[in-house]
Amino acid sequence: MNYNTSEQGQIPSLLCEQVSTTLFEGWLWDMFKEYVRKIRRTASTGAPEVSVMKEQYQKIFFDSSIKILVEEKVGMIVVFNDLETRTTAELKELMTETQLLTYLARCYGRGKFKINLYHGMTFVATHNFKVLDESLAEGWREIVKKAKELEKKDQRWGN
C-alpha cells in the first residue's frame, strides 16, 4: 500500500488515526527515538521534548525502511545475510515485538536476526532479535543458499 504524505512529509490524518495507537510504541519507535533525539538536539536547547520527537518521527516515518538480516556462523566468523527489505509503511502488522518475532519464526524459522533501520540512505539504528524455538527449522538457510547461488551466477557472467 502506498501512502502519500503532505508537503511537510507528515502522515496523512486518516492514516495517523489508524496507526496512532501503535506508532509511538514497540521496537520500531524504540529504534527511532535515539535518532530523532540526535537530529533534533542542538547545543543551545538540548534534547527535544517527547512531543517534538513524535512530530519529527511522523515526518520521517514514510521515508524510512528496514533491512532484515540473519546471523550465520562461518567458521570463526559471523556473517549477516540479507533476507528482505521493507518500507516502514509496510510494518503496520509488525509493530509489536511479539508480532515481529512471530513473523520471523513463520517466514525464516529459528535464528538470530538483525534489523537495520534507515532514513532514506542514512543508517539510523540496529536491533537484534532471537527466535530460539528448537522445534523450528532454520528455514532462512535455504533462502541464503539460493541468494548466494544467484550471486555466483551473476558474477560468473560479469553482470
- Which residues, other chains included, contact 55 with Cβ-Cβ below 8 Å and sequence gap of 6+? none
Question: Per the structure block, which three cell numbers stand in for 83?
Answer: 533476507
Q: What is the mean pLDDT of each run of 10 residues along the chain (159 residues)?
A: 38 44 80 77 69 84 94 95 94 92 97 96 93 96 93 70
Is the pTM of the predicted complex or chain greater than 0.75? yes
Domain limits, the chain: 13-156
Stretch (H or E) spanning 148? helix 140-156
pLDDT of residue 86: 95
CA dihedral 63, 126, 14, 54 (to 10 degrees): -100
